């Protein structure tokens, strides 16, 4: 890959509503409004780092759709491939947690424009023209059966066109069952070059048993993540595998590290462990993915790649909203300091 490559992200963008002042949904009299979605978040993060990022979806041709697209266009994401159709923009309510009360999420995305789209909505040879990397997450095929077929069409077309394919398994239990996820992802992964997975993704999304999915002791079990990567690459033919590994004490406090695995050499690299005070735990996986792809685009060596990706991820934990608005220079400072910080004067 090189820094002139264009990454295309495929998924759903939604309106995000959050109670103000850390209130619970039942207490809220007003909501903070933002926009986001797994793939859109990744595209924004890439664009903010100076990379060429494009986005494709189906978004209604109304004012809410306009707002959603402006929220990513303002950071440099190319939305010219987005199909404007349908009547409804999906939404979700994010309730920030505290201490032992976890973050909450209530989806309101049924009958959204993209969920009603057919696989034939997307002319992939045209959409993928000029694209070097195609990216999607497991959220997209979980939205509907037609989108799962569209993902397969996109991956097949990308493979025929010599385009690198990247998938974050990103299992979401509120969207589908483990059985449904496993059937679908096992059909898609053989068309994926680079796979990203963490915690519950491999157990729930692929039915793997070599990792426990523990959020409490992930770092102590880090060698099992290497075995997870080895098995995924061997079974599905992926060339590279990356993962976030976490120990989570409570909403505000956790430790994060990453692992990168190369199938050809059967070699892995761990990042340092970062002790993190979390401001908001949304979009850190998307930030990891963008950091990882940025590193690949710019030819970083494997150790620097995983160090950079995890640094991008933990910086997202310090930012409210879905989007990781940090520069390569800010990420590199975290990488160089192993998580330390100082006042910029």
H or E stretch covering 255: strand 253-262
Please give the biggest Cα pair distance in the chain.
Answer: 56
C-alpha to C-alpha distance for 227 and 216, rounded to whole angstroms: 19
Strands 164-168 and 133-137: parallel
C-alpha to C-alpha distance for 181 and 38, rounded to whole angstroms: 17
Those residues whose C-beta lies under 8 Å from the C-beta of residue 298, and which sit 6 or more positions away, are 2, 3
C-alpha to C-alpha distance for 119 and 150, rounded to whole angstroms: 5
Secondary structure class of 181 (helix, strand, coil)? helix
Known catalytic residue: 286?
yes
Of the residues 286, 301, 307, 322, only one is catalytic, namely 286
C-alpha to C-alpha distance for 46 and 342, rounded to whole angstroms: 25
What are 33's strand-pairing partners? 17
C-alpha to C-alpha distance for 283 and 250, rounded to whole angstroms: 17
Tell me the two tokens of residue 66. Answer: 């306009």
Q: Contact at 8 Å (CB) between 116 and 141?
A: no
User: Angle 284-297/302-316 helices, nearest 10 degrees?
Assistant: 150
Rg of the chain over all Cα atoms, to the nearest angstrom: 19
C-alpha to C-alpha distance for 158 and 287, rounded to whole angstroms: 23
Number of helices (H), then strands (E), belonging to the chain: the values are: 11, 15
Q: Contact at 8 Å (CB) between 287 and 41?
A: yes
With CA atoms as reference, report the closest residue to 219 among 267, 253, 255, 195: 255
For the four alpha carbons of 208, 168, 325 and 163, in that order, the dihedral sign comes to positive
List residues with catalytic annotation: 286
């Amino acid at each position: 890959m090189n820094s002139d490559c264009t990454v295309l992200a495929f998924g759903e963008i939604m309106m995000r509503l959050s109670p103000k002042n850390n209130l619970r949904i039942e207490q809220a009299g007003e909501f903070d409004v933002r926009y986001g979605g797994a793939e859109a978040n990744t595209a924004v993060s890439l664009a903010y780092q100076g990379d060429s990022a494009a986005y494709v979806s189906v978004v209604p041709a109304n004012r809410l759709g306009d707002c959603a697209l402006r929220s990513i266009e303002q950071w440099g994401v190319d939305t010219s491939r987005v199909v404007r159709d349908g009547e409804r923009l999906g939404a979700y309510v994010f309730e920030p947690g505290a201490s032992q009360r976890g973050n909450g999420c209530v989806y309101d995305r049924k009958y959204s424009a993209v969920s009603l789209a057919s696989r034939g909505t997307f002319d992939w040879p045209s959409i993928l023209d000029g694209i070097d990397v195609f990216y999607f997450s497991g959220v997209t095929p979980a939205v509907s059966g037609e989108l799962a077929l569209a993902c397969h069409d996109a991956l097949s077309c990308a493979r025929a066109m010599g385009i690198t394919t990247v998938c974050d398994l990103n299992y979401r239990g509120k969207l589908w069952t483990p059985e449904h996820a496993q059937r679908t992802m096992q059909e898609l992964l053989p068309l994926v070059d680079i796979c990203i997975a963490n915690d519950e993704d491999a157990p729930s999304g692929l039915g793997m048993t070599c990792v426990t999915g523990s959020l409490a002791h992930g770092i102590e079990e880090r060698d099992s993540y290497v075995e997870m990567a080895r098995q995924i690459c061997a079974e599905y033919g992926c060339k590279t595998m990356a993962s976030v590994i976490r120990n989570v004490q409570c909403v505000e406090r956790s430790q994060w590290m990453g692992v990168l695995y190369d199938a050809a050499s059967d070699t892995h690299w761990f990042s340092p462990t970062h002790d993190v005070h979390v401001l908001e735990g949304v979009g850190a996986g998307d930030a990891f993915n963008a950091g990882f792809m940025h590193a690949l685009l710019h030819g970083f060596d494997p150790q620097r790649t995983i160090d950079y990706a995890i640094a991008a991820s933990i910086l997202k934990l310090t930012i409210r909203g879905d989007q990781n608005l940090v520069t390569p220079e800010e990420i590199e400072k975290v990488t160089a300091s192993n998580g330390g910080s100082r006042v910029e004067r």
